[in-house]
Amino acid sequence: MAKTILAVDDSGSLRQMVSFSLQAAGYNVVQAVDGQDGLNKAKEKTVDLVLTDQNMPIMDGLTLIKNLRGLGSYQKVPILMLTTESSDEMKAKGKAAGANGWLVKPFDPKRLIEVVQKVIG
Amino acid sequence: MESRTLPVSELRLLLTGVSEHGAQHLIEVEADLMQTTFLLSEAIEKLGASFMAIHEAVTNQQQELEVFMARNEWSKEDVKKLDGFKQKIGEEVNAAVTGLQFQDLTSQLIARTIRRVNGLKELLSVLASHGQEIDAEHEHKEIAKLLEEMNHSLSTRSNALEGGLRRAVNQQDMGSGEIELF
């Protein structure tokens, strides 16, 4: 059965490119437009991996991760940040919040798939 | 010796003029940036839709060719040539997906610039906001005080503006970013 990935990003074009890349590699993708939407969708159905942006309206990526890690069903689900942010300070915050990896935009689809496969198979 | 100062009314007029003209130009800058955001947004929507349609058509074409190849005997050379095309298409699709992310980066930069423009408009309003009467007997001292207050106000607002404008996009090109697993 295909694994499901929750892609959270306020940019429609980015969500489209992420979904296109992941679906081409055989994954199911659930899209969310911000952290709050991501949290709601994550509660509806536990996914195999969360891929989230950082800077979004309503709820940012770090807050989303902290909220997800507070849910029993998401304590061990891999969460990757996909963001324009590239500073060591932000990466450290992501790691402290519970992120499992950090990908700086723009992403290369081939490398994204390699990372996703490494994390969830 | 009598100290010479700028006439107060002219000074106020000058500062108000700087404020109003500056604000007017910044309004135009903001309007242009908003228009750019709108055009980029529409462009990426159309590019994305075209990209998806082209990719779907090429995928269908490849599948048809594979069916055709299975039914007919193709030379090894032709099969190799077609595999080469398929690989090249895959590479170009990946490059296009990376390139098509430009709008996410540029829209963040434009949004930051618009916030800075709005902050500058507020800063300029400081120049026109000091309307208190100036005592003619102590004109020199009063003008110096007025300018010092304005300077302080500008500095405070400028620092506050800078503090609220953290740079989230440092990319200088559209090459793919680094990946780190924790």
Question: Which tens digit of pLDDT belongs to each residue from B108-160?
Answer: 999 999 998 988 888 888 777 765 666 666 677 777 877 888 888 888 888 88
Task: Give B181's strand partners.
Answer: A101
CB A50 within 8 Å of CB A77: yes
CB A74 within 8 Å of CB A68: yes
> Per residue in B19-60, pLDDT tens?
889 899 999 999 999 999 999 999 999 999 999 999 999 999
Pair of tokens at residue B131:
């309307």
B117 found inside a domain: yes
B154 found inside a domain: no
Instruction: Quote the percentage of chain A above a pLDDT of 70.
Output: 100
User: Tell me, what amino acid is at A110?
Assistant: K
Per-residue pLDDT averaged across B85-111, rounded?
92
- Nearest chain B CA: its distance from A103 CA (Å): 4
CB B141 within 8 Å of CB B29: no
Domain that holds residue B49: 11-129
Domain that holds residue A37: 4-120
**In a 3-state reduction of DSSP, which class is residue A8?**
strand
Measured between alpha carbons, how far is A31 from A6 in angstroms, rounded to an integer? 6
The DSSP 8-state label assigned to residue A6 in this structure reads E
**In a 3-state reduction of DSSP, which class is residue B2?**
coil
Residue A83 confidence class, pLDDT cut points 50, 70, 90:
very high
**In a 3-state reduction of DSSP, which class is residue A16?**
helix
How much is the pLDDT for A43?
A: 93
Number of domains in chain B: 1
How much is the pLDDT for B176?
A: 84
Number of domains in chain A: 1
User: Tell me, what amino acid is at B121?
Assistant: K
Per-residue pLDDT averaged across A12-35, rounded?
95
B77 found inside a domain: yes
ipTM of this predicted structure: 0.87
How much is the pLDDT for B151?
A: 84
Interchain pair B182, A99: CB under 8 A: yes
Q: Within 13 Å of residue A65, how many CA atoms lie on the same side as its CB? A: 26
Three-state secondary structure string covering A40-89: HHHHHCCCCEEEECCCCCCCCHHHHHHHHHCCHHHCCCCEEEEECCCCHH
User: Of A17, A21, A10, A11, which Cα lies nearest the Cα of A116?
Assistant: A21
What is the number of CB-based contacts under 8 A between chain A and chain B? Answer: 97
- Nearest chain B CA: its distance from A88 CA (Å): 11
Q: How many residues does chain A have?
A: 121
User: Of B48, B155, B158, which Cα lies nearest the Cα of B100?
Assistant: B48
A36: domain CATH number? Answer: 3.40.50.2300
Measured between alpha carbons, how far is A60 from A52 in angstroms, rounded to an integer? 9
B19 found inside a domain: yes
With contacts defined as CB-CB under 8 Å, which chain A residues touch B43? none
**In a 3-state reduction of DSSP, which class is residue B173?**
coil
How much is the pLDDT for B126?
A: 78
The pTM (predicted TM-score) of the whole model is 0.83
Task: Give B179's strand partners.
Answer: A103
How much is the pLDDT for A15?
A: 95
Sequence-distant (6+) residues with CB within 8 A of B124 are: B18, B19, B22, B23, B26
CB A41 within 8 Å of CB A30: yes
Q: Regarding predicted confidence, which is higher, A31 or B150?
A: A31
User: Would you list which residues of chain B are within 8 Å, Cβ to Cβ, of chain A?
Assistant: 44-45, 48, 52, 55, 93-94, 97-105, 107-108, 168-171, 174-182
B168 found inside a domain: no
